[in-house]
A and B are shown apart, each in its own frame.
Chain A
Amino acid sequence: MNTGDTAWVLISAALVMLMTPGLAFFYGGMVRSKSVLNMLMMSFISLAVVSVLWVLYGYSLAFGNDLGAGLLGNFGNIGLKGVIGQLTGAADHQTPVLAFVMFQLMFAIITPALISGAIADRAKFWGWTLFIGLWVTIVYFPVAHWVFAFSSADGSTVGGWIANNLKALDFAGGTAVHINAGAAGLAVALVLGKRKGWPKEPMRPHNLPFVLLGAALLWFGWYGFNAGSALAANETAAVAFTTTTVATAAAVLGWLLVEQFRDGKPTTLGAASGAVAGLVAITPACAFVSPLGAIAIGVIAGALCSLAVGLKFRFGYDDSLDVVGVHLVGGLVGTLLIGFFGTTSVNSAGADGLFYGGGFSQLGKQAIAAVAVLAFSFVLTYVIAFVVNKTVGFRADEESEVAGIDEAEHAESAYEFGAFSSARGANKGSVTAGATAVLEGSNKS
């Protein structure tokens, strides 16, 4: 066992874990003050639900030996059977399989959490929780198998079709995580419908410092996501770390420049969003492109995503926090641009893209992988969300939405706006209605 590599994989797993609470704050700051707790909870509950399912059967479905055709893992590792004590990796770089299990768990946690941004302010909590359980089982675990499960060199275990048969490149999850979550976000937003008053009523972000804090935590955690995906403390990890940094920086600039030209002001929300768009786009490409290629991917992603977030107004779907505009579009940008900027000079396991004399072959593979994941995720997510809504209920009723989903679903409010209601009733077990909703109406037009 290589202790240096093992330490890096474990630290990376912890870094990726931090992304989910980071995402919660990124999203939480963007909603109105009456829904921030629900927004945070939609991410946090993913840590709880997916961790349990992952150990029970999720890891096995994603990384167990292939059942056939590269579509799904088998049940051989149910309850993490046969995992403890096993090592994985090349001869001098072996790490415990269990470290890989935990690293990949964090990806399975954040992917459904990303979807929650599409349905801010209006989802029933238990409906969402059930949705997460079904979604990771039916959508994420199979797609993770397609993309992340590599066949072992000796052929003893067989992996997924995108990684091994198609040979599309996706280093850290542009397809499995971001296109997947983005397409799912669109489907869920369509099933749940628009928020009352959208898009006429202003729904301003209530705490932009939270948004920037969340984006910064995401950026930090993303080093585990991307550089950690090397699964070793090596040159590839350093390349991924470098491209991740510079693409994100370039995307911030790209988004802000579009804002300056279009709206006349560079915004905090734009900087935070640009960073996330850059992180998303470089995710699949981070180990396969040069630092200069990463700058190009970042600028393109930042500018395109900042334009793409306007699509929802044109087509009339309430993707509240732009999961489509940032994750679907950013994921597509990164996945497809490998077909242009990919170069084996950075990583022999990669491929040469169009700009490096590789022709259209890699671009075609990238497009097939992107479309396959997009279509699979969109269709199945639509069905899952529809069924959840018709059975246990997914969309909150209008009264809960107006009063605020925090109060309706959690019987809590994030902030104490008035001091008058503070402690009364606390000892008697009775609840005194607070002054929570008073300020909420103040920005109505």
Chain B
Amino acid sequence: MKLVTAIIKPFTLDDVKSSLEQLGVLGMTVSEVQGYGRQKGHTEVYRGAEYSVDFVPKIKVEVVVDDNQVDKVLEAVVEAARTGKIGDGKVWVTPVDAVVRVRTGERGSDAL
């Protein structure tokens, strides 16, 4: 099993969610995060004084999927989150050793 983590622009979340649903991904965890990459932050002006805001709001989407689904999930997320402009985000995959469904105690793929 793999954990797919995607940092995306907040307004693309709906598209990412629906394309994952179409792939049959049954659940996901979403959090509001802040950060920056090459895009860097932006500048705000208050009463003429400029403030650079380094951390911009992003959404972090996390899904745990079977190994054979990883490529399709990656492709779907990237497709849905891409606007072609700087600041679209990143997606990465990490191995997962074990998953347990709390209610039943099922393990591995059955718990997904």
Contacts and interface: CB of A to CB of B under 8 A. Distances in A.
A56 to B, nearest CB: 39
B15 interface: no
A322 B49 CA distance: 12
B3 to A, nearest CB: 23
Interface string B30-72: 0000100000000011111111111100000000000000000
Interface residues of A, number: 22
Interface in A306-352: 306, 309-310, 313, 322, 325
A430 interface: no
A30 B107 CA distance: 52
B48 A202 contact: no
B47 A273 contact: yes
A445 interface: yes
B47 A269 contact: yes
Contacts of A205: 46
A445 B54 contact: yes
A81 B44 CA distance: 55
A263 interface: yes
A196 interface: no
A202 B53 contact: yes
B44 A204 contact: yes
B52 A442 contact: no
B52 A445 contact: yes
A445 B45 CA distance: 15
B55 A263 contact: no
A267 B46 contact: yes
Nearest to A268: B46
Nearest to A204: B51
A273 B52 CA distance: 22
Interface string A263-300: 10101011001000000000000000000000000000
Nearest to B57: A442
Contact of A313 (B34, B45, B49, B52): B49
B101 to A, nearest CB: 23
A238 B50 CA distance: 41
Contacts of B50: 263
Contact of B45 (A199, A263, A273): A263
Contacts of A445: 51-52, 54
Interface of A: 199, 202, 204-205, 259, 262-263, 265, 267, 269-270, 273, 306, 309-310, 313, 322, 325, 442-445
Given A309-B47, A443-B53, 13 more contacts: A204-B53, A259-B48, A263-B45, A263-B50, A267-B47, A269-B46, A310-B49, A325-B47, A442-B34, A443-B55, A444-B54, A445-B51, A445-B54
23 contacts: A202-B51, A202-B52, A202-B53, A204-B46, A204-B51, A259-B45, A262-B48, A263-B45, A263-B48, A267-B46, A267-B47, A269-B46, A269-B47, A273-B47, A306-B47, A306-B48, A309-B48, A310-B47, A322-B47, A325-B47, A442-B34, A445-B52, A445-B54
